[in-house]
Each structure stands twice: as C-alpha cells, then as structure tokens.
Amino acid sequence: MSVKIIAKDCTGCGICLEKCPFDAIEIVDNIAQLKDNCTGCGACARACPSKAIEVTRKAKKPTIKLEDYKGVWVFIEQHQGKIHSVALELLSEGRKLADALQVELAGVLLGDGVEHLAKDCFAYGAEKVYLIDGPVFKHYRTDSYTNAIVEVINKYKPEILLFGATNNGRDFASRIAVRINTGLTADCTELSIDPETKLLQQTRPAFGGNVMATILCPKHRPQMATVRPRVMKLCEPDYSRTGEIIRINSSVKEEDIAAKILEIVESSSKTVNLEDAEIIVSGGRGIGGPQHYHLIMELAEALGGVAGASRAAVDAGWVPQYRQVGQTGKTVAPKLYIACGISGAIQHLAGMQTSEMIVAINTDPEAPIFKVANYGIVGDLHKIVPLLTAKIKELKKSQKADKTAASV
C-alpha cells in the first residue's frame, strides 16, 4: 500500500496525527507530511475529514512462472523412524490429486537414517521421495526443517504441497508459506482439483464451523494445505510398488540452528491415543460434573476403548483438553463412538462423524446427535451408562468362562 498527501486539500487539522498508530505523520507549514516509518496502514486516510490522503493498494506481482511448478508433494512426518499415519493418509489423497493433474506424487522425507521409510511412501502411491537425511535432521526443529524444505521447493518447484496438521506441521508449514510468498489453507477437510482451472480446491470449515469455505491459491506456488490426522482415508498399500529416491545435499548446518535439543520428555497425554482408538466413549456437559466422568472412563475401559469428551466438558474444567473431540480437538474415526450427554453441535460432529458406528445417549429426543447416530438411547446417562458397563463386563466374563470350559 502506498500513501500520498494531497497538499492542496490538506487543512493541517492534525486529525491524521492523532489517528496514526505509528507516529508517522508530522505537520509542516500547516500541511501533513509522511515520515519514513509510514507503514501504509491507511488509518490516516480513513480519518481525514478533507479527503486529502490517498491510499493506493498495489497488488504484489508474483515473480514466479506458475507453469514451472509441477507435481504434488507430501511432507512425510516421522518420529524415531516411524511414519506418522497422517503422512500416509495424505499420500493416499495426494495420489488422487496427482492422477487428476496427471503429474507425479512425491514424498519429502527428513530425518537421520530414515531412507528405509521410502518404501512405505512408494507403497502408498508416491513415485519419488526427496530424501533429506543427516544428524541435523534427527529431531524436528523449526529452523532446520523450514530451511531444508524451502531449499528443495525452490529447486524442484512442486505445484501442491500437503502437510499433516500436527504440532510440527502447523508450526513450520506456515513459516514455509511466508518464506516462499505463497498461501496456506489450514485444517482442510476436503481437497480436489478443479477440472477446468486445475487449481487445488481447499475446503475447510469457516465462521465457527457454520459454513464450508473452498479456498484457491491461483497466483502463487506451491498451493499449500494442512490436513488433520484421520480426515483423509488411507488407501490399501501396495508393497510391490517402487520409486526413485532423490538424495538432497542440504546446506543446513548444525551451527546455523539456534535451538538445541537437550532432552525429550514424553507427554503423559501420549498414553491417551484418541486418534488411533477403535472404540471411543465420550462425555459431554450432560455428565453433570467432573465427579461423574468416571462413568465414561469405566464404560470405555470395559469396551477396551478410550474416553473422550466434548469441548463443553473440557471448558468446564471437568476433563483435560487432550481428550477433546471436535473441530478444535481431535478428529477421530473409530469403529464405535458412544456419545453420552453430548448435544451434537456441528463443531463436535466435525471431529467424529466419520466414525463407523455412532451410538448416542441423551435425555433430549430432539438432540442433533441423533441425526448422525446409528443407534440412539433416549434417557439419563447416569442410569444407562452403568447398566451398559455392567452388561459388557458380564458378557466378557461369560465369554472368558466359555473359553476356559472349551479348553478343558
């Protein structure tokens, strides 16, 4: 943005001085003058009663040739030599995008001694793996990973780049986007290619989940998106597939990285793995207080599952945040999801509606959760949940007894 004072219209009233948040205007000879620290924010122009300040918005012309950018890339997040499931989900989805564009699908793999993971990338659809391997990449650090990936993007120019919306993915995808002057759509729930323009259509919930927005990045490359774990479906891997490994000689050096990792302390929340759980029992505001959450935990335990919660239960301080399911919590897709005392707000559904089977327990027969539930129980969870837990325990006990009898 550029700001210009129209001297003939300026009355020297000084209102712009008061409104400028950067103290970047002075009055000289009864006329406003811009100082060097003007940021072009335009606050002065909006305040000027004489319309004596003009703001011109100059669109920054991209300095890149869009046609130079080809191929779909997926960042292959790995921890201690094990690929994060979201990377495989993104390869599965990336394969469809690459096929629609008739281009290659590649994985970008960083780590120390991680070449053996390339075979998994090929099995899930990649034709190429860009391998950045060395001790400096042993653990994720924002600077080393950002610098290395920016280098390969500038050299090989992908048109689409996908990241898992994990802590690491969220941390450095945004930095990469700023460095290479492109856009980033976070937390996409759907990706597709526009058949006419060949642009990536990045769909995500907006305005508190009340509308679905489809976002395009027509003038910059790569088109970048993050997707949460469990949103995209995994394809069947084919381990007979092979591909090409491109070894990158990165210029990133340990001495250039400010952050040093002294010790890694595993978080206790890791023991609650909602995202990979096959059975989840979640409690909402309907549980009535933290003293009743044990009902949810006991049913989850009896079923061999994990206990989750709605945001209302988390916000009330009844349940820790790492158990939250939904738009601002975990996205889950278990075989069985039991929602107890949860109304079924759109933001909760966003995190669990792809579950294979949904059972809802709620006193209100009109609760929206019943619209997505396969089975609904209208009633008080404080009575129903303990009955279910007792019945499941009884069934398990009798199954165990039958097995013992059969083996004698």
Question: Is 52 in a helix, a strand, or coil?
Answer: coil
Per CB under 6 A, which of residues 190..209 are in contact with ligand FAD? 208
Q: Choose among 239, 143, 148, 225: nearest CA to 189.
A: 225
Between 103 and 280, whose beta carbon lies closer to ligand FAD?
280
By CB under 6 A, is residue 310 in contact with ligand FAD?
A: yes
Residue 383 CB, shortest distance to ligand FAD, in Å, is 8
Q: By CB under 6 A, which span of 5-13, 74-82, 246-254, 337-345 interacts with ligand FAD?
A: 337-345
Burial 321-337 (b: 16+ CB within 10 A, else e): ebbbbbbebbbbbbebb
Per CB under 6 A, which of residues 58..117 are in contact with ligand FAD? none
Q: Which of 43, 103, 191, 367 binds ligand FAD (CB under 6 A)?
A: 367
Per CB under 6 A, which of residues 3..62 are in contact with ligand FAD? none
**Tokens coding 47:** 């305040």
By CB under 6 A, is residue 250 in contact with ligand FAD?
A: no
Q: Which of 168, 202, 324, 355 binds ligand FAD (CB under 6 A)?
A: 324
Q: Which of 47, 347, 353, 392 binds ligand FAD (CB under 6 A)?
A: 347
Q: Which of 125, 169, 284, 334 binds ligand FAD (CB under 6 A)?
A: 284
By CB under 6 A, is residue 380 in contact with ligand FAD?
A: yes
Q: Which of 19, 70, 119, 285 binds ligand FAD (CB under 6 A)?
A: 285
By CB under 6 A, is residue 328 in contact with ligand FAD?
A: yes
Question: Residues with Cβ < 8 Å from 203, sequence gap 6 or more?
Answer: 188, 189, 190, 191, 192, 212, 213, 214, 215
Distance CA 162, CA 173 (A): 9
By CB under 6 A, is residue 313 in contact with ligand FAD?
A: yes
What region does 254 belong to: left with phi over 0, alpha with psi -120 to 50, or beta?
Answer: alpha
Distance CA 17, CA 23 (A): 7
Tokens 């591909």 -> residue: 243
Rounded to the nearest 5°, which phi and psi values hold at 289? Answer: 155, 160
Q: Which residues bind ligand FAD (CB under 6 A)?
A: 208, 284-286, 310-313, 324-329, 341-343, 345, 347-348, 351, 361-364, 367, 380-382
